[in-house]
Structure 1
Amino acid sequence: MASEVIDGAVELRVADKRAVADGVVALTLVRPDGRRLPDWAPGAHVDLVLPGGLTRQYSLCGDRWDAYSYRVAVLREPDGRGGSAFIHDELEVGATVGLGGPRNNFRLVPSERYLFVAGGIGITPLLPMVRQAAMLGTDWRLLYGGRSRASMAFLDELEPYGDRVTVMPQDEQGLLDLDAWLSEARPDTKVYCCGPASLLEAVERRCATWPPGLLRTERFVARVRDGARDEPFELVLARSGLTLKVPAGRSVLQALGDAGIGVLSSCRQGLCGTCETAVLEGEPDHRDALLDDAERAAGDCMFVCVSRARSERLVLDL
């Protein structure tokens, strides 16, 4: 029997749900028909389409070699938009959710050494990276901070790695000692960081003078860059032959929808990468949480759910 589809997503069944830290639950997801799931690599995330139509993105944090189940971990967000509260309070084992993806905007690229820096639930995309580095015999270290030991997920799974993992609960040891770990760039070491905005900004400040490409970060929320431009601009669709006006306060994605041009999208926050679109001419005003500085400077793509234009005219490959 083929899996059903919810809002364009393959249906998955919740096979297991358990607490893995204070305020964090892990879900194990399988196909109801028992068929294998799409392959994925460390850093990948999926869209979960919850009953009622909410769509949320979560990093895959299970065993990438298990072809028949996915695992995600969900932090309860008291000030969130309702997705985490639903998963914690209402989603039960046996219930179904929709699946979109997996997609990967945070790939683990080859390196002689890795430094992984996690804050809280930011451990989720880094956990499979740790496993991958260990499996390949690559030199690596993990610096993992959180409010308290009880709030930090998957400590039991990290324990076998011994002193390669440094665990620093804030209530015991204070904030992560980033100066000690990031005092100078090492060209043979790539740094992967995921966690709250305050941690990412602190890491980025310390790495601001490093050679490009050594630091990769993943954000939970998009960041508006300085110089953001909200004036109307002209949008040209090269393949469709249409010219549109994108007014102030209206996203490119919304303007495209108003003109009947469909672009696949999911998070609408510049987080998931679904709506990536090629830019042929003009200068995008990037407001996503995905592209690194070199990719932003190239200006050959944008995420139309949040990004706008710094130039008066933008030509897209649509």
Structure 2
Amino acid sequence: MTSTVFDASAPAARTSSDFEAEVVVVERRDEADGVVGVELALPGGSDLPSWTPGAHIDVELPGGLTRQYSLCGDPADTSRWRIGVLREIDGRGGSRWIAEELTVGTSLRIRGPRNNFPLHPAARYVFVAGGIGITPLVPMVRAAEAAGADWVLHYGGRTRASMAFLGELAGYGDRVRVHPQDETGLLDLDAILGAPAEGTLVYCCGPTALLDVVAERCREWPAGSLHVERFTAAPAVVDGEDTGFEVVCERSGLTVAVPPELSILEAVENAGVNVLSSCTEGICGTCETPVLEGEPDHRDSLLTEDERAANDTMMICVSRCRGARLVLDL
């Protein structure tokens, strides 16, 4: 079967919501070794905002931490949101707190949803997940299946016991290919992606090493075939040393000097301009800002090549200026 998932006249795009609220944990359970599933709802039982596959939310945690987690439940269920959290032994404490301290009834402040990894129209999909990278792909395969699309999911992990949502995914039959490393070795990406396929989109989420190899295998695929979501920022390509420049905050009526040692985000916040931000690594999209004049030096891990070339938006937590002046909608 080769049908189109969504109306091609209205392609998916990055979306963001201004919704911010206190939610309560209504359920938590172990989804796999080291992976906790958490379901969130509004205290009064009102509906949460709608979302689309690939979306994530910002979750504020104790100690001033803010973390992004993909929504991995059913978009049709507006009564609650589900996230999956991997306990990272070497992390900065957020996932450890969720794994060890978070209980049913706990209140959390959230923002979103924001979608930087939208599911675009296609006749066929190849989904590739590594470990906790399965979370944004669970609602994607649900959408592909519901629309009657042709799709396959290749899901790799260290062991079967460490791989979340296997029971849920088992209902899709042989469309889901499970590859525990201790049983079958690493994902055979040459076999999975070796032959470019017209009309097929590849969606991948997982550790950096997986994303890098998938990107290499997709070099011969048609432009725009590969879509990835990163947990950590890709190394930025920097030409020479950073220099200072001016940022004109059009709405605030301020002109701010950005020295080499500060990001735009830091400089404008120091000047009293309030900007929403979260990851400060150029991967979450919270600080995305329209560019009115000037040429950004894009250093994020989010914008596509076409979006970078358009130069009409930028992530001010990491990106800089190629000239002496930027005018931003701040």
- Which bracket does the TM-score occupy, shorter chain normalised? over 0.9
Q: Which amino acid aligns with 1:53?
A: G
- Give the TM-score, by structure 1 length: 0.93
**What is the aligned partner in structure 2 of residue 259 from structure 1?**
271
In the TM superposition, residue 55 of structure 1 has moved relative to its aligned partner by 1.3
Do the aligned partners of 1:146 and 1:170 also contact (CA within 8 Å) in 2?
yes
Q: Which amino acid aligns with 2:329?
A: D
**What is the aligned partner in structure 1 of residue 328 from structure 2?**
316
**What is the aligned partner in structure 2 of residue 12 from structure 1?**
23
SS in 2 for 1:79: coil
CA distance in 2, matches of 1:249, 1:33: 46
**What is the aligned partner in structure 2 of residue 301 from structure 1?**
313
In the TM superposition, residue 184 of structure 1 has moved relative to its aligned partner by 2.8
- The structure 2 residue matched to 1:72, chosen from 69, 80, 83, is 83
Please provide the CA RMSD for this pair. 1.5
SS in 2 for 1:172: helix
Deviations 1:11-45 (A, max 9, x none): 11111111111110000111111111111110010
Q: Which amino acid aligns with 1:76?
A: R
**What is the aligned partner in structure 2 of residue 216 from structure 1?**
227
**What is the aligned partner in structure 2 of residue 119 from structure 1?**
130
Distance 1:311-1:182 versus aligned 2 partners, 3 A rule: farther
Matched, 1:102 2:113: yes
Q: Which amino acid aligns with 1:269?
A: E
- The structure 1 residue matched to 2:100, chosen from 89, 94, 115, is 89
Do the aligned partners of 1:142 and 1:165 also contact (CA within 8 Å) in 2?
yes
**What is the aligned partner in structure 1 of residue 5 from structure 2?**
none
- The structure 2 residue matched to 1:142, chosen from 153, 158, 161, is 153
SS in 2 for 1:131: helix
Do the aligned partners of 2:157 and 2:180 also contact (CA within 8 Å) in 1?
yes
CA distance in 1, matches of 2:81, 2:258: 39
**What is the aligned partner in structure 1 of residue 3 from structure 2?**
none
SS in 2 for 1:108: coil
Do the aligned partners of 1:212 and 1:294 also contact (CA within 8 Å) in 2?
no
Do the aligned partners of 1:29 and 1:71 also contact (CA within 8 Å) in 2?
yes
In the TM superposition, residue 241 of structure 1 has moved relative to its aligned partner by 4.1
Q: Which residues in structure 2 correspond to 1:155-194 (within 5 Å)?
A: 155-194=166-205
**What is the aligned partner in structure 1 of residue 64 from structure 2?**
53
- Give the TM-score, by structure 2 length: 0.90
Q: Which amino acid aligns with 2:313?
A: C
Deviations 1:229-254 (A, max 9, x none): 52222223334443322112211111
Question: What residue ranges of structure 1 are gaps of 5+ in the alignment?
Answer: 1-7
Question: What residue ranges of structure 2 are gaps of 5+ in the alignment?
Answer: 1-18
In percent, how many aligned pairs have the same letter? 60
How many residues are aligned here?
311
Q: Which amino acid aligns with 1:247?
A: P
Structure 1 residue ranges, 4+ long, deviating more than 4 angstroms after superposition: none
